[in-house]
Structure 1
Amino acid sequence: MIEKHLSKWRNREIARTVFFFTVIIVMILALASVPRVSAPLLLAYVISLMIRPGVPILMKLGIPRTLAIIALLMGLIGISAWPITKAVPLISDEARNLQFYIPKVESYITNRYVVVKKELKEKAGYDLNDSYLYDFLENSNKYVTNSILALPKWLASLLEWVFLVPLFTFFILKDGIVFRDILLNICPNTLFERFYSLTHEFGKKIGGYIFAKFVEASIIFVIITAGLWFLDIRFSFLLGLVAGITNIIPYVGPVIGAIPGLIYVLAEYGAGGTFAAIAILYTVANAIDIAIVFPILVSRIVDLHPLVVVVSVILGSQSMGVLGMVISIPLAAALKLIILEIYQSIYARRNNSSF
């Protein structure tokens, strides 16, 4: 009789486990297939982690939970509105003006190429293939032109995010606990405690990592923009923004972010003191990031060995390109949590069976 009940219980737990993981996998695949929704949802989740502590504080003052959430969101929107309204027209103007400098940059690169080609032929007897230069110029021109033409689309996406992110943040703060409880209700009893602990740690680490990368990118943006502005370099805001955004990509991001600024300054001012000053600016900004910002903000949160980070970034690049490089570290941190949880579960089971 007891064995029969145990058999039914095991079958029920197996069925619940299969159903539970099916729901989780379907949710992940659904979100991954719609980045237009999942990307602002992820940002909303990070924002909710930032302002969530303020909700109980306002509730203690007698403000209902819903009104407390709305008040915090309105305050955040008010703080963010001024820099966004100033930045959007500035980015648009600088991007339009940038297209007039493209021929100048192309001319400089072509002239330098002719000099290098001549020196190589005279000193080493090697004749460069001109097709590489023309392919590079054509692809670069096409990329910049497409980026400028796509600017209205990016601005439209930004406006869409301005609407979606506060909306998602509101419902995450208001109904996030309900959604978590639904998952816990369908979670098998054998996995309940582990799943609860795992989701808590996962949310803390991933949310903390994304927030840390945002702060890191903002610091680089401020340093580069302020430095370029102080040196009286045109497009300082746009070049600083590029440096900040590309800095999100681990390791290679800072190099990618420095290239547009260095090429522009080289074409505009030549290889003189201004170019050296800009090169030093980018080097100092990245040194501050590597030596201070990244270890304090990012490394402590994900708690991964540098070798694991490097391998994760390479694998992410191979599988999903730039997006893979960006999400590789939080995915590696999540995988580490899962592996540790499984290991601790097996280790605890062995200890129990030995008694």
Structure 2
Amino acid sequence: MLSVFRRWYQRKFSDPDAVMLLLLILISTVVLLIWGKMMMPVIVAAIIAYLLDWPVVQLEKAGIGRSIGTATVMVLFSAVSIIALVILLPIVSKQSVNLMQETPQIVASAQNWVLTLPEKYPRYVQVYQIENIMAGLNEKIGALGESLISLSFSSLVNVAALLIYLILVPLMVFFMLKDKNFFLQTVSKLLPNERRLITQVGNEMNTQIANYIRGKVIEIVIVGGVSCLTFVLMDLRYAMLLGVLVGLSVLIPYIGAAVVTIPVAVVALFQWGISAEFWYLMIAYSIIQALDGNLLVPLLFSEAVSLHPLYIIIAVLFFGGLWGFWGVFFAIPLATLVKAVITAWSSESSQVKEGTA
């Protein structure tokens, strides 16, 4: 057994470049686990900088200095963000409050419908089963209400943190974009000389993460915008809120679309019942999801490394449980990083094997 492990170790880590890559991954993981929450503003700033680097580069190619290009892009990005928040935030907030107020009515309607099942299907559904289900459901709804109230109070405490984000993050984004080359040179000096595999994986991940962030933001805007427009035209209640939820659901591949279908279907069912309008809405919603998965995603992520759906789901569950929202957001790039590292080690092992042969 020890000889097998020794041969595996020699095959994978006989090259100093492979050892340096492993040490860098371990150190980065430890830093994120220990200081991840503290460094979250820096991570958010880096994400936005990745998103805005492409237009800055295009302005540079057009002959505009990087400082002026960075300032121009930051002003445009801030203006668009403020306008979007001014338009969307009040509507979404109001619809969220209204939906919270009407949730008891929706639950009561669902309970009344469920209570009719024993009369319709006496051979399959018994009254005591429905009562047990209702009792458990009411307890969970009560617990959910308490958690929402506690969350609202805790959010008031985080207002100061939000203000810090609004001030520090734009400043960090500006300097990251303006002095990009300086920071890259500084990081390069900190890396060891044995960094061939680190450079290989870093170049691949730099392209992957940049493409993923830009593509995902575009996908959220398109899917959310089309969903809002569709729901408004079909006169669905809470159209803007549900449209925003549908747009954000694309952050979680496969799982997000399935989860967000529940509030869309529940609201439509409460508003129209089992009617033609309900089925028209569900058909339109299904078309949006089908176009997103079969047309929009292949166009936006054509340069991304393909991953099996099972690997994506595992990555979402693992990294989401580890880092919450940002773990879900970066599940695919992180899974791609794991794949790139495995590919680099495998190619290195093949080269070592060929050299010894």
Report whether the alignment pairs 1:173 with 2:174: no
Equivalent position of 1:97 in the other structure: 98
**2: CA distance, partners of 1:84 / 1:274:** 31
Equivalent position of 1:115 in the other structure: 116
Report whether the alignment pairs 1:40 with 2:41: no
**2: CA distance, partners of 1:297 / 1:15:** 35
Amino acid at match of 1:123: R
**2: CA distance, partners of 1:16 / 1:313:** 27
Equivalent position of 2:260 in the other structure: 257
SS of aligned partner of 1:88: helix
**2: CA distance, partners of 1:351 / 1:48:** 43
SS of aligned partner of 1:301: coil
Amino acid at match of 2:289: N
Equivalent position of 1:206 in the other structure: 209
User: For the Cα contact (< 8 Å) 1:225–1:236, is it kept in 2?
Assistant: yes
**1: CA distance, partners of 2:214 / 2:145:** 30
Distance 1:13 1:232, change over 3 A: closer
Equivalent position of 2:187 in the other structure: 183
Distance 1:50 1:165, change over 3 A: farther
Equivalent position of 1:5 in the other structure: none
Report whether the alignment pairs 1:240 with 2:273: no
1:73 Cα deviation after fit: 0.7
User: For the Cα contact (< 8 Å) 1:20–1:186, is it kept in 2?
Assistant: no
Distance 1:227 1:342, change over 3 A: same
TM-score by length of structure 1 reads: 0.81
1:254 Cα deviation after fit: 0.7
Amino acid at match of 1:135: G
User: For the Cα contact (< 8 Å) 1:104–1:267, is it kept in 2?
Assistant: no
SS of aligned partner of 2:274: coil
Equivalent position of 1:267 in the other structure: 270
**2: CA distance, partners of 1:179 / 1:151:** 39
Distance 1:118 1:162, change over 3 A: farther
Which shows bigger deviation, 40-49 or 261-270? 40-49
Amino acid at match of 1:194: L
**2: CA distance, partners of 1:275 / 1:313:** 31
SS of aligned partner of 1:302: coil
**2: CA distance, partners of 1:147 / 1:133:** 21
**1: CA distance, partners of 2:118 / 2:324:** 33
Report whether the alignment pairs 1:224 with 2:227: yes
**2: CA distance, partners of 1:197 / 1:54:** 25
Distance 1:92 1:144, change over 3 A: farther
**2: CA distance, partners of 1:222 / 1:260:** 18
**2: CA distance, partners of 1:83 / 1:318:** 30
Equivalent position of 1:56 in the other structure: 60
Q: 1:309 aligns with which of 294, 301, 312?
A: 312
User: For the Cα contact (< 8 Å) 2:237–2:271, is it kept in 1?
Assistant: no
**2: CA distance, partners of 1:47 / 1:262:** 33
Amino acid at match of 2:45: L
**1: CA distance, partners of 2:125 / 2:28:** 62
Equivalent position of 1:74 in the other structure: 75
**1: CA distance, partners of 2:325 / 2:119:** 36
**1: CA distance, partners of 2:336 / 2:19:** 29
1:344 Cα deviation after fit: 2.2
User: For the Cα contact (< 8 Å) 1:20–1:188, is it kept in 2?
Assistant: no
**2: CA distance, partners of 1:53 / 1:323:** 26
Distance 1:287 1:114, change over 3 A: same
User: For the Cα contact (< 8 Å) 1:244–1:257, is it kept in 2?
Assistant: no
Which shows bigger deviation, 265-274 or 305-314? 305-314
TM-score by length of structure 2 reads: 0.80
Q: Deviations over 1:23-66 (max 9, x none)?
A: 534543355343742552343233233333135246x34x4x33
Amino acid at match of 1:290: G
**2: CA distance, partners of 1:14 / 1:255:** 40
Amino acid at match of 1:166: P
User: For the Cα contact (< 8 Å) 1:221–1:244, is it kept in 2?
Assistant: yes
1:91 Cα deviation after fit: 1.4
1:305 Cα deviation after fit: 3.2
Amino acid at match of 2:108: S
Equivalent position of 2:167 in the other structure: 163
**1: CA distance, partners of 2:234 / 2:131:** 35
Structure 2: give runs of 5+ residues left out of the alignment: 1-13
Matched positions, count: 339
Amino acid at match of 1:248: L
**1: CA distance, partners of 2:275 / 2:18:** 70
Distance 1:18 1:234, change over 3 A: closer
Amino acid at match of 1:71: T
**2: CA distance, partners of 1:214 / 1:270:** 34
User: For the Cα contact (< 8 Å) 1:92–1:151, is it kept in 2?
Assistant: no
Distance 1:51 1:165, change over 3 A: farther
User: For the Cα contact (< 8 Å) 1:316–1:325, is it kept in 2?
Assistant: yes
